[in-house]
Structures are given as C-alpha cells and as structure tokens.
C-alpha cells in the first residue's frame, strides 16, 4: 500500500504484496464488481445489514411476474432507487477503477450494478451484466425512454406511442442477460492474467460463474470484499475491507511497482 508517512510503517499483508506483484507484471486485468463498490457512496447493498433483500423479496419486485401483477408497486420501487442514485456521487473505489483502465495495457470492468456510477466516475469499457437504471423501455413496442421525462410523471408511466407499460432496462430474475455484454464478459474472463472480484457476495448466476471461469483459465484470482463469500476459498488472495480504501492504495502501489520495474528496464508484462 502507498507508504503514508504517519511515523507508523503501513503493514503490507502478504496477500497484498502478492497481488501488487501480479498486477505490476500483468497485461490483461479484469475487475468484476457488485453493490459493495457503491456502498460507500450510499447505495444500499442487497444482502448487507440494511440490504434491499432484507426488506423485500427479489421475486416480489425484480421479476416480470411481479411487474405484470402490480406495475405501480414495481415502478415506484425503481423510481425511488432512481432518485436515490441520482442524488449520490461515485466514491474513491470507482475512481481507482477508472485509473486502472489507464495503467493496464488491457482492462475490462464487468459490473452487476445498475447504478451507472462506474460510467459517471469516468470508466469507459464497462460491461453491464444486469442493465442500467438510467434507461427504460416500453415492454410492448420497445421504445426507449430516459429517466428525466418519466420521473416527472406522478402515475406509473405508459408509452405514449402504443400505450404499453414502461419498465427499467434492468435484468430481472428469470430473465436472460444482454447477450453482447455477457459474451464480452466471458471473453474478458477467459483471457485475464489477473481477475479482481470486488464488493460482491458472488451468489447471483450466471454472473458469479465468471470468477470461476477466469480461475479455470489460469487467471490469478483476487477477492476484495468486506466479508468472506462463497468465492473466498477459491481465490488466490483475499483482501478484506472497504473497496473505497483498498483500491486507491492498491493502484498507487501498482503504479509505483510498474514505474520502478520500468526504471530497472525489467519488462512490466510478459
């Protein structure tokens, strides 16, 4: 971790040292994120103490059946999340991932988050596995709609073109993931030198199969998370803590390691 002169020497764990060394020599790096990355921005997670799924059952709100059963209830729930997300900012964890895109020759960011905070922070190559809460479309004619006009309406919005219900462009349980985003994510996982699983409980599929695929294909698998998950035993290293604290330090150490490798003329990546 970047050496902070507090008089006390920052204790660098062995896992961190190994990850910095791997990242310093990496050509292809993939980051895979979940709600934990946005927690420090104020976005409630799903399974955390005040998690969304503690209050509501996923199948009651995040499924087509639920929407068809009660469009207003489901829309109101997403309208509430849209307003919360519109009022918050990315955190240092998001910005560290933007920096990674500049540091590594090849980098991909795969996210389960629908909050658009990675893009708002400046990340460019973002694969959105579960959609984006800033987009909407008509379930009947597919016409796209932005949040602006819809959130102004008091009642549950209907499509002016065909009268169909308008839904958020997110992936609900039982629905297939967007093919282009999924295929690009599989390709990235298969070619990664280092695969970082960050702020996710790794329980929702098929997303949670990506870290396992990367490991099977020889990637060095690192997990950065506030608590252990079903993936922790499979990971080569586990950095426990807050992504908004760990990621900026990690990037600073990797940049320092790559620069000193460059100065010694040792190739930074194989």
Closest separation between CB of residue 185 and ligand BV8, Å? 13
SS3 21: helix
Q: How far is the CB of 156 from ligand BV8 (least distance, A)?
A: 17
Phi, psi of 131 (to 5 degrees): 90, -165
Closest by alpha carbon to 88, among 47, 120, 132? 120
Cα–Cα nearest to 106, from 184, 28, 185: 28
Out of 3, 94, 130, 269, pick the active-site residue. Answer: 130
Contacts with ligand BV8, residue ranges (CB under 6 A) = 34-36, 39-40, 45-48, 51, 62, 112, 114, 130, 170-171, 173-176, 199-201, 203-207, 225-227, 229, 242-244
Q: Rounded to whole angstroms, how far apart are CA atoms 201 and 229?
A: 5
Nearer residue to ligand BV8 within complex by CB, 175 or 259: 175
**Roughly what angle, to the nearest 10 degrees, separates helices 92-103 and 243-263?**
20
Residue closer to ligand BV8 by CB (options 25, 121) is: 121
Residue 80 annotated in active site? no
Q: Are 229 and 46 within 8 A, CB to CB?
A: no
Token output for 87: 């009022």
Smaller CB separation from ligand BV8, 82 or 130: 130
Please say which residue, 202 or 253, places its beta carbon nearer to ligand BV8. 202
Partner interacting with residue 90 (select from Zn ion, ligand BV8, none; CB below 5-8 Å by kind): none
Of the pair 36, 157, the CB lying nearest ligand BV8 is at 36
- Give which of Zn ion, ligand BV8, none residue 132 binds (C-beta under 5 to 8 Å, depending on kind): none
Distance in angstroms (rounded) separating the CA atoms of residues 26 and 95: 20
Selection from ligand BV8, Zn ion, none that 123 binds (CB < 5 to 8 A by kind) is none
Binding site for Zn ion (CB under 5 A): 138, 140-141, 143, 159, 161-162, 164
In the complex, the smallest distance separating the C-beta of residue 210 from ligand BV8, rounded to whole angstroms, is: 11
Q: Which of the listed partners (ligand BV8, Zn ion, none) does 35 bind, with a CB threshold of 5 to 8 Å by partner kind? A: ligand BV8
**Three-state DSSP class for residue 92:** helix
- Write b or e for each residue in 171-185: b if 16 or more Cβ atoms lie within 10 A of its Cβ, otherwise e: bbeeeebbeebbebb
In the list Zn ion, ligand BV8, none, the entry touching 119 (Cβ below 5 to 8 angstroms by class) is none
In DSSP terms, which residues pair with 135 in a beta bridge?
146
Active-site positions read 130
């Amino acid at each position: 971790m970047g050496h902070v002169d507090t008089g006390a020497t920052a204790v660098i764990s062995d896992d961190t040292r190994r990850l910095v060394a791997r990242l310093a020599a990496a050509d292809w790096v993939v980051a895979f994120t979940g709600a934990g990355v946005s927690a420090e921005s104020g976005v409630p997670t799903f399974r955390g103490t005040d998690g969304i799924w503690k209050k509501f059952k996923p199948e009651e709100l995040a499924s087509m059946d639920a929407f068809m059963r009660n469009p207003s209830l489901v829309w109101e729930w997403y309208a509430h999340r849209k307003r919360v997300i519109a009022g918050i900012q990315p955190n240092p964890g998001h910005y560290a991932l933007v920096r990674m895109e500049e540091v590594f020759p090849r980098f991909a960011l795969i996210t389960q988050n629908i909050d658009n905070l990675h893009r708002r922070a400046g990340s460019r190559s973002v694969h959105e596995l579960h959609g984006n809460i800033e987009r909407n479309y008509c379930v009947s004619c597919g016409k796209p709609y932005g949040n602006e006009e819809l959130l102004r309406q008091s009642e549950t919005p209907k499509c002016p073109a065909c009268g169909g219900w308008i839904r958020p462009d997110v992936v609900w349980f039982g629905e297939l993931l967007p093919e282009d985003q999924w295929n690009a994510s599989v390709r990235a996982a298969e070619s990664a030198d280092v695969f970082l699983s960050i702020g996710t409980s790794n329980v929702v599929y098929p997303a949670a199969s990506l870290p396992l695929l990367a490991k099977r294909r020889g990637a060095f698998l690192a997990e950065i998370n506030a608590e252990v998950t079903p993936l922790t035993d499979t990971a080569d290293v586990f950095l426990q803590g807050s992504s908004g604290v760990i990621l900026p330090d990690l990037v600073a150490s990797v940049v320092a390691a790559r620069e000193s490798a460059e100065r010694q003329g040792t190739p930074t990546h194989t």
